[in-house]
Structure 1
Amino acid sequence: MTFVIIEDEKPNAIRLKRMVEEIDASYQVVATIHTVSEAVEWFTNNPHPAIALMDIRLADGLSFDIFSRVKISSSVIFTTAYDEYAIQAFKVNSVDYLLKPIEKEELVNAVEKAKSLHVSASTDPYISELLSYIKRKDVKYRTRFLFPYKDGFKTVNVSDIAFIYSEAKNTHIVLQNGSMQLAGQTLEELEEQLDPDQFFRANRQYIVNINSLESIHNHFNGKLKVVVKNHDDHEILVSKEKAPVFKQWLDR
């Protein structure tokens, strides 16, 4: 059985590929794809695998956008780090979903379900219904945070964030005034909650606000180095693979 993995975070893609191959030695991952545009091109020019494992939020948009641009004959299993998109709608027919971090047993069950139903994404009426719902849905992105402060609480507007980074399993929100708050969410959860027009996941460790960027420089091996205003002590690198998506995000 063949698989394609659509996931923009390389460590997640590697882990998912390893799990697929551990489930059954005959399973083969024929491609790992990182963006919506790359997925459209790949499905247009290659035989479709039995199963497509799709992350919902990709660097250049939602994976749902793929279906409006190319017909996919594969069964689809969605993956997501944040329970946002009418999750129960996935629990029908060939469509399934897995919440990150994905456990091997859950992946086994989802693959077995897809195998038993043999329904492609193109012919599954629930896919069309789900896509219609997503198009109608007004996505509400987070606009503020509530943090403990002295004997009470204080709010921080999302627009005041310079960047967010993860270190030692803690998530730090750095404000433009230089102060810092410890967040209760993971970087993956915050990536889903923040407006992708304003915030970009530069790498596994950093999310940056477009209004806080001071400069972008070419770096070694096709990488980009991002400098945030008043915070040049943080070295934020964008990988060679993600650099074109980052530049596209800036130039729109």
Structure 2
Amino acid sequence: MRLLIIEDEIHNANRLQLMLKELDPEITVVGILESVADSIEWFDQQDAPDLILMDVRLADGLCFEIFSARTITAPVIFTTAYDEYAIRAFKVNSIDYLLKPIHKTELAAALAKYQQILDIIQPDPDISNLVEIIKKQGVAYRSRFLVQVNDGYKTIVVKDIDYIYSEFKITHLVLQNNGVQPVSYTMDELEEQLDPEVFFRANRQHIISINSIKGIHNFFNGKLKVTLIKHPAAEILISREKAAAFKQWLDR
């Protein structure tokens, strides 16, 4: 197996290399890269590896910039000290998401998972088929929120949310029963955590549910105006740049 390590801390890269050698002496590490820029350059010049071990935060940014800049055909085991990027990772070529410090048993389990998926596509070991299987495994999107109320807590189910808005840097969930609940998540974080089949980021201030839409109307300069069933007073505009993506989302 040809394996690429993308990790900006050399002691972590060396530790991964040592564990890989102990787990499977037939694994060949074809490179150790420290940055987004180095990785993009490497993929421009080299054939795709069979598997990538990739840290999320690199010396010059998040690893997801690599996927935006180049088409990555190899499956990925993400290795990171941060757990807030898990959903984003599983939207790309992720087989597993290992939190540092990584133990040999966890790495072994991730390699076994790779092998299991590889066995599925035999006798046609086309790496593009492998990546498609990985992507079809699905992402566990958020289904509920635990929020603090006075001296206790309550649960809000995601299906009860009509839309979400941000005001004065505070994010609010607007519920079907007209309740409004502030939460300690940014709009960017919620966009990652919520199922994109159900929720659409209309603009910087609003995320709307497909189940809350009453009508869509043409607006000035190619924009669209969305009216909601239970909250008709809410003014939600889709920019001209996002209008095509919004129509495609509605037409699935």
TM-score by length of 1: 0.53
Question: 1: distance between equivalents of 2:173 and 2:33?
Answer: 35
| Aligned partner of residue 241 in structure 1, secondary structure | helix
Query: What is the RMSD of the two structures over their aligned residues, measured on CA atoms?
Result: 2.6
How many aligned positions are there?
A: 148
Q: 1:146 corresponds to which residue?
A: 146
2:43 to 119, 124, 127: 119
Looking at both structures, which has the greater relative contact order when contacts are Cα pairs under 8 Å and sequence separation is at least 6?
A: 1
User: Which residue type is aligned with residue 147 of structure 2?
Assistant: F
Matched, 1:177 2:103: no
Q: 1:122 to 1:186 in 2, by over 3 A?
A: farther
Q: Are the equivalent residues in 2 in contact too, given 1:93–1:119 (CA < 8 A)?
A: no
Offset, 1:244 = 1.1
User: Which residue type is aligned with residue 202 of structure 1?
Assistant: A
Q: Are the equivalent residues in 2 in contact too, given 1:94–1:118 (CA < 8 A)?
A: no
Question: 1: distance between equivalents of 2:195 and 2:46?
Answer: 29
Question: 1: distance between equivalents of 2:152 and 2:195?
Answer: 28
1:110 to 7, 32, 36: 36
Q: 1:132 to 1:121 in 2, by over 3 A?
A: farther
Q: Are the equivalent residues in 2 in contact too, given 1:94–1:124 (CA < 8 A)?
A: no
Q: 1:129 to 1:238 in 2, by over 3 A?
A: same
Offset, 1:124 = 2.7
Question: 1: distance between equivalents of 2:227 and 2:33?
Answer: 41
Unaligned runs of 5+ in 1: 1-76, 78-91, 97-108
Q: 1:232 to 1:216 in 2, by over 3 A?
A: same
Question: 1: distance between equivalents of 2:194 and 2:226?
Answer: 19
Larger Rg: 2
Question: 1: distance between equivalents of 2:75 and 2:33?
Answer: 12
TM-score by length of 2: 0.53
Q: Are the equivalent residues in 2 in contact too, given 1:94–1:114 (CA < 8 A)?
A: no
User: 5 Å matches for 1:62-211?
Assistant: 110-111=36-37, 113-114=38-39, 117-120=41-44, 123-125=47-49, 126=52, 127=72, 128-130=74-76, 131=93, 133=95, 134-135=134-135, 137-211=137-211
| Aligned partner of residue 118 in structure 1, secondary structure | helix
Q: Are the equivalent residues in 2 in contact too, given 1:94–1:119 (CA < 8 A)?
A: no
Offset, 1:93 = 5.6
Question: 1: distance between equivalents of 2:136 and 2:171?
Answer: 32
User: Which residue type is aligned with residue 110 of structure 1?
Assistant: V
Unaligned runs of 5+ in 2: 1-5, 7-29, 53-71, 77-92, 96-133
Question: 1: distance between equivalents of 2:180 and 2:45?
Answer: 44
Q: 1:216 to 1:186 in 2, by over 3 A?
A: same
Offset, 1:228 = 1.3
User: Which residue type is aligned with residue 183 of structure 1?
Assistant: V
